[in-house]
């Protein structure tokens, strides 16, 4: 069974080259505008394209740019061919999959929480998840950017998410996006820590240019 992981397409989805797979998972930030009324047509264009993909199963987790979805202008019922995971779980071919859109707050975007409040959010994710999808990364894993004040490199992922993933949930795969490639830092990629294969599948760089076509992973359920 082949799974295509993509994220942070930011209105550039039509430039992607969909591979032949059984499942596609989008980890959020399908659109760009922070204004919900402007965001709505952007998101709908993506969701119509996503619905029409010749891929049997489609999973979508919103991100901080998914303001129209967060504010209820777009409902998951509008797109029945897509499984929306908004801090929710589904099962596919024996795999337990959990998706969550929440990220640490830094601007007034969608699905953001103060860092001190995120531990309770991650605590509610079950232990026996095979594939975990979060919009943002765990701290210290494919999450480097420049500090807005000092300009120095800084890891901006969620520390409590990292702890829950490595110590408790231990999924086979943890996929996310949110933190893009920059001139000095490459976050797109994959790395294995402990029992988990981490994937940052952000398709656009920090300037909003489509640079990557996502990851295809083949998995067999044991």
Quick one: tokens of 67? 């303001």
Look over the chain and give the mean of its residue pLDDT values, rounded to a whole number.
96
Q: Work out the average pLDDT over 116-120.
A: 96
Query: pLDDT tens-digit profile of 91-114?
Result: 999 999 999 999 999 878 999 999
CB 178 within 8 A of CB 29: yes
pLDDT digits (tens, 9 = 90+) for 14-53: 999 999 999 999 999 999 999 999 999 999 999 999 999 9
| CA end-to-end distance (rounded Å), the chain | 12
Q: Residue 61 pLDDT more than 80?
A: yes
Domains along the chain with CATH numbers: 2-218 (3.60.21.10)
């Amino acid at each position: 069974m082949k799974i295509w992981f993509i994220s942070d397409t930011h209105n550039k989805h039509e430039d992607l080259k969909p591979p032949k797979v059984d499942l596609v998972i989008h980890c959020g930030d399908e659109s760009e505008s922070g204004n919900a009324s402007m965001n709505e047509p952007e998101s709908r264009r993506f969701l119509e394209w996503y619905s029409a993909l010749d891929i049997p199963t489609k999973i979508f987790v919103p991100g901080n740019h998914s303001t129209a979805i967060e504010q209820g202008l777009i409902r998951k019922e509008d797109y029945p061919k897509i499984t929306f995971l908004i801090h929710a779980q589904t099962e596919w071919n024996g795999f337990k999959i959990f998706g969550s859109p929440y990220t640490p707050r830094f601007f007034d975007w969608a699905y953001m929480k103060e860092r001190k409040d995120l531990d309770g959010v991650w605590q509610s994710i079950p232990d026996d998840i095979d594939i975990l999808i979060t919009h943002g990364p765990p701290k210290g894993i494919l999450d480097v950017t420049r500090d807005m004040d000092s300009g120095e490199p800084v890891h901006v992922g969620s520390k409590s998410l990292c702890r829950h993933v490595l110590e408790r949930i231990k999924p086979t795969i943890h996929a996310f996006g949110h933190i893009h490639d920059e001139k000095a830092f490459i976050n797109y990629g994959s790395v294995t820590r402990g029992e988990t294969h981490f994937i940052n599948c952000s398709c656009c760089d920090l300037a909003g240019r489509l640079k990557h076509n996502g990851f295809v992973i083949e998995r067999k359920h044991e």
